Homo-oligomer: A and B are copies of this chain.
Amino acid sequence: MIPSPAAVNAFFAEQFPSAHAGGYRCVETGEGFAVARWPYDPTQLRPGDLISGPTQFALADLALWFLSFTVVGLAPMAVTSDIHINFLRPAKGGDLWARAQLLRAGKVRITGQVKLWVDGAPDKPVAHVVGAYVRIA
């Protein structure tokens, strides 16, 4: 029922090749959660060698998308409704991880939260996200 990371990534590559080419991947799926990773790329940094806000947003958005697959399967027809992101600490020096956790799967709206951290420091989140995907007919 819950698609494997390999199945998610194959679907992702087909549906959204430009993001897939950026290295983003689903690395784990399970009941009520999904984990995604962005491989560190020194050419994509902001001033101060920081992993940029858009990169963090993109990874969180993907993690929520992957989370939606654990609820409704590999359905193309879901779009982001709204996302709220708090940047908590500078993100530096390693792969970026995002773990999305289900808050509520409604008939229309799938709401989750996402914790983001840099490789090796899961207890020092760099960003926190709450967001929702909406199923479209």
Binding site for B on A (CB under 8 A): 15-16, 18-19, 43-47, 50, 52-54, 57-58, 61, 76, 79-90, 103-104, 108-109, 111, 113, 125, 128, 130, 132, 134
Contacts and interface: CB of A to CB of B under 8 A. Distances in A.
Which has the most chain B C-beta neighbours within 10 Å: A54, A109, A134? A54
Contacts of A87: 79-82
Contact of A18 (B44, B103, B132): B44
Contacts of A89: 104
Contacts of A79: 50, 87, 90
Contact of A88 (B19, B46, B104): B104
A82 B84 contact: yes
A85 B86 contact: no
Contacts of A82: 82, 84-87, 132
A109 B134 contact: yes
Given A82-B86, A86-B81, A86-B111, A128 B125 contact: no
B47 A16 contact: yes
15 contacts: A15-B46, A16-B47, A18-B45, A19-B54, A47-B76, A53-B57, A54-B58, A57-B58, A80-B87, A82-B86, A84-B84, A84-B130, A88-B103, A111-B128, A113-B113
